[in-house]
Amino acid sequence: MPKRANHIVKESNAIARARLMPETGSLWDERIIAAIAGRNRTDEIEFREHIVDVKELSTPDGLSTSQYREIKKAITRLTRSYFQVLRRNGNFMNYPIFAKIGLEDGSVTGKFNPDLKEHYLELRKQFAMRSLPEFQALSSTYSQKLYRYLNSWRNEPETTVSLAELHETLATPPSFRKNFKSLRIRVLEVAHREINAETGLEFDWEPVKEGKRKVVAVRFIFDIRAARSAARKAALAVVIKPKRSPEDEEIDRLQAASNECFKKFYERIGKDCAPKKRSKRCQYCLERGRMGIRARVARQKELNLEGSGTK
């Protein structure tokens, strides 16, 4: 098997976020496009024709006969494939991908459509980069599509994608669109595990809910250390109230009752109260509550007068 070249695919963010049409569940379409795109030199002003050995598209274990047949079918599909770049207000632009593509002597020969030059050549800003070997190590078509898409956001701390846009980007079947659990188990969890393990792109994700249950979007988090640090700080900031004993509850009750009694006599009526000898409320008030404070203040005034020699 030929040595796999360590090419880098450099493409505009618009193409990284574009839909590959017509939709296909095959791994090979994306791999072929990436293999040829990775051979484009971004300092060139025109596309060149490139030749890629089909064995470079496979895993290190090599190509099976059935895989070779799938690649031939993918090449035929790619003669009419296009990138659909979504724009505002439901507008879009379609870009046919190849000016020509074919299979010759076990190699893919292809040349990009000249209209794609602004998305691959002489890029200065708003572009994404991905490693071709890392991309080809992904074994799920959803992992490939999500990896291409998320690479255009990886310089941001996070991005939130509506569920509708995510389904369109990943070309999920109707059953996944009706049931978020299917999307979570069959797509997001698999892609998250595989991309984090096989590529240099590390991310976390979480559902964004409307109300208590309805998931309306997915938040992808790239600054994982900062997010985890913020989560730890938030957890530490939560004040956990200690469990209160019956004695604590009783003290609170006595304090409230003695305060109310004090307000009644001294703030509303303006009279001295007559503490009851057997009342816990009165005992609390005299020893620890408002009457106790009043007595201590009066005593301190007396001590101050004695200390100053005033009679």
Query: Domain end: 209, 240, 271, which one?
Result: 240
Q: What is the pTM of this model?
A: 0.70
Q: Alpha-carbon torsion 129, 16, 45, 34, what sign? A: positive
Q: Are residues 18 and 84 in the same domain?
A: yes
Joined tokens for residue 183 = 């999307």
**What are the pLDDT digits (tens) for 65-83?**
999 999 999 999 999 999 9
CB count within 10 Å of CB 308 equals 8
- The residue among 134, 162, 179 that closes a domain is 134
Distance of CA 65 to the CA centre of its chain: 39
Buried b (16+ CB within 10 A) or exposed e, 75-111: bebbeebbbebeeeeeeeeebebbeebebeeeebbbe
Domain match, 14 and 115 both:
yes
Q: Are residues 171 and 269 in the same domain?
A: no
Chain centroid to Cα 140, Å, comes to 20
Is the predicted pLDDT of residue 227 greater than 90, yes or no? no
Q: What is the mean pLDDT of the chain?
A: 87
Domain end call among 134, 159, 190? 134
Full domain range(s) for residue 35 = 1-134
Here the CATH number for the domain that contains residue 188 is 1.10.10.10
State pLDDT tens for residues 143-172: 999 999 999 999 999 999 999 999 999 999
Same-domain status, 197 and 252: no
Domain shared by 235 and 303, yes or no = no
Backbone CA torsion sign across 45, 47, 53, 59: positive
Query: In whole angstroms, what is the distance from residue 234 CA to residue 241 CA?
Result: 16
Count of the separate structural domains present in the chain:
3
